Amino acid sequence: MNNVDLYAVIGNPVAHSKSPLIHAAFARQTGQSMRYEAILAPEHAFSATVASFAQRGGKGLNVTVPFKLEACKLADRLTERAEAAQAVNTLAFGYNFILGDNTDGAGLVRDISGNLQFPLRAARILLMGAGGAARGVLLPLLQHQPRMLMIVNRSRPRGNELQERFSRYGAVMSCDYADLRGQQFDLVINSTSASLKGQLPALPSGIFAEGALAYDMMYGTGHTPFLQFAQEQGAARFVDGLGMLIEQAAESFFIWRGIRPKTAPVIEMLRSQPR
């Protein structure tokens, strides 16, 4: 096993992660000699767990909740998108430094613009949430030059903070949920944790424009409350975040191995499995 490169996903919890399954499929498809495991890190021992992994010869890590901010501080160098997000979900070793990247946004836009064939350029986008998930996707979304990107969050100051940080990249604004009444959007993205709790953000009726896409970053069994709401409100399409999960994994794989795997077969494989 000495010639097999080691990778892993690290988080707490982590047992539910589909990353080992996804990367095993990528490795088979591309003929890469690698092993990918899941590491449960104690909440107060992230750095020590990463150091132990590196000492074992680990080449790269996917980082999931709650460690993306710690991973950002741990990295010696950040890519532009990780710097903008101030959150890291991919670490690469094997240099004289630790590289930190954030592939979430690349995964999202590749799923939306590539797999779903939904044009982001000149679109009116509503992004719900102002946490780490939102920060990770703002720059890649704005790089596709939407007509406007509105951030809505329960805490207006957090939305304003993101507006100020990302305004140099494009037309980004922030508002309260109450301010959405009377507005319409071509793409509505849920980056909040509401779906995990079986809740629906306080969206008003009528926000979906004709032909609109509703996209929930979460995925699970059946439609989330947000996607159910979108269907009832007449959104043309409503999609969960499984494609984003696989596309961001493919971006990490490319960073580590220099090969971009085909994602369509893996998306089809996971869609066909019970979740």
Q: Which pLDDT belongs to residue 93?
A: 96
d(C-alpha 179, C-alpha 174), whole Å: 10
Outline which parts of the chain fall under CATH 3.40.50.720.
105-240
Examine the residue annotation and report whether 18 is marked as an active-site residue of this protein. no
Point out the residues of the chain with pLDDT beneath 70: 1-2, 221, 275
| Contact between 180 and 126 (Cβ < 8 Å) | yes
**Nearest alpha-carbon partner for 251 in 261, 240, 241, 239:** 261
Enter the CATH code of domain 5-102+248-271: 3.40.50.10860
pLDDT of amino acid 221: 64
Q: What is the pLDDT of residue 230?
A: 97
Reported CATH class of domain 105-240 = alpha beta
What distance in Å separates the CA atoms of residue 258 and residue 66, rounded to the nearest whole number?
Answer: 28
pTM score? 0.94
Q: What are the helix (H) ranges across 31-116?
A: 46-55, 68-74, 80-85, 104-109
- Residue that the structure tokens 């979460």 belong to: 218
CATH 3.40.50.10860 spans which residues of the chain?
5-102+248-271
**CA dist 147 to 44, 103, 126, 130, 239, Å?**
42, 23, 11, 20, 22
Alpha carbon distance 196, 185 (integer Å): 24
Residue 241: predicted pLDDT? 94
Q: Are 136 and 87 in contact (CB under 8 A)?
A: yes
Task: Tell me what pLDDT residue 203 has.
Answer: 96
The catalytically annotated residue of 59, 68, 197, 262 is 68
Cα 153 to Cα 175: distance, rounded to the nearest angstrom = 7
